[in-house]
Structure 1
Amino acid sequence: MKLPKRSKQHISETASFKLFQSKIPDSWIIREVTERDYGIDCYLELVNDDDELTGELVLIQLKSRQTILWTRENTYTLIGIDIATSNYWYKFAVPVFIFLADIEKQEIFMLSVDYWIKRNFSEFIKQSTFNYTFNRSSLFEGKDGIFFFKFYFYYEHYRQQFENELLFFLTSLQHFQDFQIEHHNRDYHLGIEGTDLIYFEAMHRNYKFLCIYFNLDNPIPPMRELKKKSREKFGDALHYELYEHDLTEWVGEFQKLTLKIIKGLKEFLDGEMSYWLTINPSIYNYIINIREDGQLPSW
């Protein structure tokens, strides 16, 4: 008696899904989708270290091979994805990841779609074929795999905020530098007036975000801690939240961070050169012409 048989494709899809489920933390939530023909197999909702739901979502596309045939350079190129699917992924407001499963070895590898597109933008905008190259080091396994997944997730999750903070940094950089010089070694007991305090807080927030985004060490304490120490030192009698002493103490670190952030921006934009030269060449050309000592272009 003849009976229906499952296709190899369906068996492979089920195997990759089970493998993916086995690799993610138990606290993370997989939400399956009813329609899988549009390049999304499931939603992944992240949970923080305190097992709290954060509302942070990732869209997942699962691919599988019985055995991944790595090149000598330890890469594997996924071909045959319709350009319309890549366009669809690229337009999502939340990060999209491709997970590639090696069924035989029970390993799974990850690639951030947006990260890959922005670093290969010249090929992407040709709108013909667009392939995705996995590196063997992108193994999604254990704590290291989770760490690198989160790194690429937050890289995309905060991308729009990064571009906003980038513009704020560039348009304020000369004022930041002037402000830092102006408040170096002034009378320690002078209170910081309202306008200067607002400006300092904006600079502090901007540097903090960019340091986190570029994974730079930032020795400057949180604003709340700066204000707390200032109250302990000067008391509340004059009703100032910060004094010149507080700014002078950290101006040197701000100046060092300025140069580190500029270097980070240059390296970052070099990695996405074709993207920026297409989307906003003015920003790219401006940043690469900032000198190592922080001197801005004169044009």
Structure 2
Amino acid sequence: MKLPKRPKQHISEAASFKLFASKIPESWIIREVTERDYGIDCYLELVNDDNELTGELVLIQLKSRQSIPWAKDNTYTLTGIDISTSNYWYKFAVPVFIFLADLEKEEVFMLSVDYWIKRNFFEFIQQSTFNYKFKKSSIFEGNHGVFAFKFDFYYEYYRQQFENELLFFLTNLLHFQDFQIDHYNRESQLGIQGSDLIYFEAMHRNYKFLCIYLNLDNAIPSIQELKKKSREKFGHTYYYELYEGDLTEWVEEFQKLTLQIIKGLKSFLHGEFSYWKIINPTLYHYVTSISEDEWANG
């Protein structure tokens, strides 16, 4: 009696899905999709350490090999993905990741689509073939794998905000410098007026975000901590939210961070050279032409 046979492709797809599901934290949620022919196999919703649903979604494409034939440099190039699929992934407003399963060794490796496209943009815009290169070090395993994945995820999740904050930083760079100089060593008990306080908070937010995104150390306390310290200092005479002494205390740190952010932005844009040269060459040349010596002197 002849019976239907299950295609090997379906078997490997099911095996890769089970392997992927076994690697993610138990609290995270996999949301399957019914239409898999368009390059998305499932959605992954992240759950925070307090088991709260965050609404942070990742689109997942699963690929598998019975055994991944790593090259001598410990990389593997995934080929055969139609350019229309890459275009589709690139247009999504949420991050898209490819997970590559080694079924024999029961290992899973990850790659952020947007990250790879932006670093290989010249090839991408040719709109012919576009391949994805995995590193053996990008294994998704245990706490280290989860940490690396979350780092890459938030890198893309906050990408649009980064580009907004980048423009804010560049257009205000000279104003930041003037503001910091102007508020250095003023009478410490003078209150910060409304317009200056609003500008300070905007500058503080901008520096804080860029430091986090560019992975830079930032010793400046939060706005809430600065205001709390000010209240404790002035006690019952506390009237303003912040005083000149509060700003003077951190001006030199802001000046140091200005240089670190400039260096960080240069390195970041260099890593995405092909993307910025096509999308915004003016911005790229402006950032790379900023004199670090000038800002090193505060």
For the aligned pair, the TM-score class normalised by the smaller chain equals: over 0.9
Stretch moving more, 229-238 or 132-141: 229-238
Q: Deviations over 1:198-236 (max 9, x none)?
A: 110000000000001011111000100000100111235
**2: CA distance between counterparts of 1:262 and 1:217?**
14
- Map of 2:119 onto structure 1: 119
**2: CA distance between counterparts of 1:141 and 1:74?**
17
SS at match of 1:293: helix
- Map of 1:2 onto structure 2: 2
SS at match of 2:237: coil
Describe the shift of the 1:229–1:238 C-alpha distance in structure 2 as closer, same or farther (beyond 3 A).
closer
**1: CA distance between counterparts of 2:207 and 2:287?**
16
- Map of 1:199 onto structure 2: 199
**1: CA distance between counterparts of 2:226 and 2:293?**
28
Runs of 4+ in 1 over 4 A off after TM superposition: none
- Map of 1:158 onto structure 2: 158
SS at match of 1:235: helix
Gaps spanning 5+ residues in structure 2: where?
Answer: none
C-alpha root-mean-square deviation of aligned residues, in Å?
1.0
Q: Shift of residue 294 of structure 1? A: 4.5
Contact 1:259 1:294 survives alignment (8 Å): no
Contact 1:262 1:294 survives alignment (8 Å): no
**2: CA distance between counterparts of 1:263 and 1:172?**
17
Share of identical aligned residues, percent? 79
Gaps spanning 5+ residues in structure 1: where?
Answer: none
- Map of 1:276 onto structure 2: 276
**2: CA distance between counterparts of 1:207 and 1:227?**
18
- Map of 1:174 onto structure 2: 174
- Map of 1:59 onto structure 2: 59
Describe the shift of the 1:6–1:294 C-alpha distance in structure 2 as closer, same or farther (beyond 3 A).
farther
Instruction: With the length of structure 2 as denominator, give the TM-score of the two structures.
Output: 0.98
SS at match of 1:252: helix
**1: CA distance between counterparts of 2:264 and 2:149?**
21
Contact 1:258 1:294 survives alignment (8 Å): no
Contact 1:102 1:108 survives alignment (8 Å): yes
Q: Shift of residue 295 of structure 1? A: 4.8
Q: Shift of residue 189 of structure 1? A: 1.1
**1: CA distance between counterparts of 2:236 and 2:193?**
15
Q: Deviations over 1:63-94 (max 9, x none)?
A: 00000000010000000100000000000000
Contact 2:259 2:295 survives alignment (8 Å): no
**2: CA distance between counterparts of 1:294 and 1:262?**
11
Instruction: With the length of structure 1 as denominator, give the TM-score of the two structures.
Output: 0.98
- Map of 1:19 onto structure 2: 19
- Map of 2:237 onto structure 1: 237
Give the AA of the match of 1:108.
Answer: V
- Map of 1:33 onto structure 2: 33
- Map of 2:109 onto structure 1: 109
Q: Deviations over 1:179-208 (max 9, x none)?
A: 111111111111111111111000000000
Give the AA of the match of 1:210.
Answer: L
Contact 2:258 2:295 survives alignment (8 Å): no
Give the AA of the match of 1:75.
Answer: T
Q: Deviations over 1:223-270 (max 9, x none)?
A: 000001001112353521111110010011100100000000000000
**Does residue 184 of structure 2 align to residue 184 of structure 1?**
yes
SS at match of 2:62: strand
- Map of 2:291 onto structure 1: 291
- Map of 2:100 onto structure 1: 100
- Map of 1:69 onto structure 2: 69
Q: Deviations over 1:267-287 (max 9, x none)?
A: 000000110010000100000
**2: CA distance between counterparts of 1:294 and 1:211?**
20
Q: How many residue pairs get matched?
A: 296
Give the AA of the match of 2:40.
Answer: I
Q: Shift of residue 4 of structure 1? A: 1.1
Describe the shift of the 1:142–1:294 C-alpha distance in structure 2 as closer, same or farther (beyond 3 A).
farther
